[in-house]
Amino acid sequence: MNRRRLLQVLLIAGSLLLCGVAGGYPKPSAYRIAWELGFEHSMLKRIVVTPKGSKTAQAYWYVTYTVTNSGTQEEQFLPAFEMLTEDGKVIRSDNNLPAVVLEAIRIREKVKTLESVTEIAGSIRIGEDQARDGVAIWAEPDPRMGQFSVFVGGLSGEGVVLRDDQGQPVTREGQDGKKEPVVLHKTLQLDYHIPGDERYPGTDEVHFVGEQWVMR
């Protein structure tokens, strides 16, 4: 078992023990039970940009995508893109990124209407002609990326309350200090592997390992 997979197993196992969850971690339904948006994505890509006012170039990783609503009513798309690095760090996309990075990606991809995570958030109208094109961006966390995953939230209305072995909801402290149930949502997991080392960052081929739906 590789390092990242082992780390994921240990994290999940630890969560189950702490919460007292019996019967394994919740999984998405085998059939659709809630609204779901169509999601097509590009290969993860690397770009190097020099932010305004800086003399040092910075590397960024990004994935472009198209989201489509094939349902019967408009749906709210509130995207959440998170990267799980090989050493277990979870990094939210589009975190304090210089505007020049998005512009550089639009120029490279030749898509002027490419929207950031905050710009694309909102109602997605019905039909392929109403599809929206977006991009999620991360500052490079490590020149040696190795094996890592990207989690895409906001694509489905399916959710489940996490329960312990007594059938009681697992809770956590909310922003107001009150206890609230832990709710897991159907999330798309994209797995990648980039071989090589930090000596020649950006020169190694990006391998898309696969994707799966998980509850997160």
Residue-range domain boundaries for the chain: 3-215
Q: Which residues lie below 8 Å from residue 131, measured CB to CB, with a gap of 6+?
A: 38, 66, 67, 68, 69
Span 27-31, mean pLDDT?
Answer: 90
Residue 178 banded pLDDT, cuts 50, 70, 90: confident
If you ran DSSP here, which 8-state letter would residue 121 be given?
A: -
The pLDDT value given to residue 24: 64
Q: What is the C-alpha to C-alpha distance for residues 67 and 214, in angstroms, rounded to an integer?
A: 19
- pLDDT, residue 149, reads 98
Question: Which ranges in 20-116 belong to alpha helices (H)?
Answer: 99-109
- Residue 20: pLDDT above 50? no
Predicted structure pTM score:
0.83
Q: How far apart, in whole angstroms, are the C-alpha atoms of residue 71 and residue 177?
A: 37
Residue 8's pLDDT is 47
pLDDT at 21 over 50: no
For residues 199 and 144, what is the distance between their CA atoms, to the nearest angstrom? 9
Tokens of 179: 């206890």
Q: Is the separation of the CB atoms in 148 and 83 below 8 Å?
A: yes
Average pLDDT, the chain: 87
More confident residue, 36 or 169: 36
> What Cα–Cα distance (Å) separates residue 124 from each residue in 75, 128, 169, 205?
5, 10, 32, 34
Strand extents, DSSP E, the chain: 38-41, 45-49, 58-68, 75-77, 80-84, 90-92, 122-124, 132-139, 146-153, 159-161, 171-173, 179-181, 183-194, 207-215
Q: What does the pLDDT read at residue 54?
A: 81
**Nearest partner of 119 among 130, 105, 109, 134, judged by Cα:** 134
Q: Nearest to residue 90, comparing CAs of 78, 98, 81?
A: 81
- Condensed to tens digits (0 to 9), the pLDDT of residues 123-164 reads 999 999 999 999 999 999 988 899 999 999 999 999 998 887
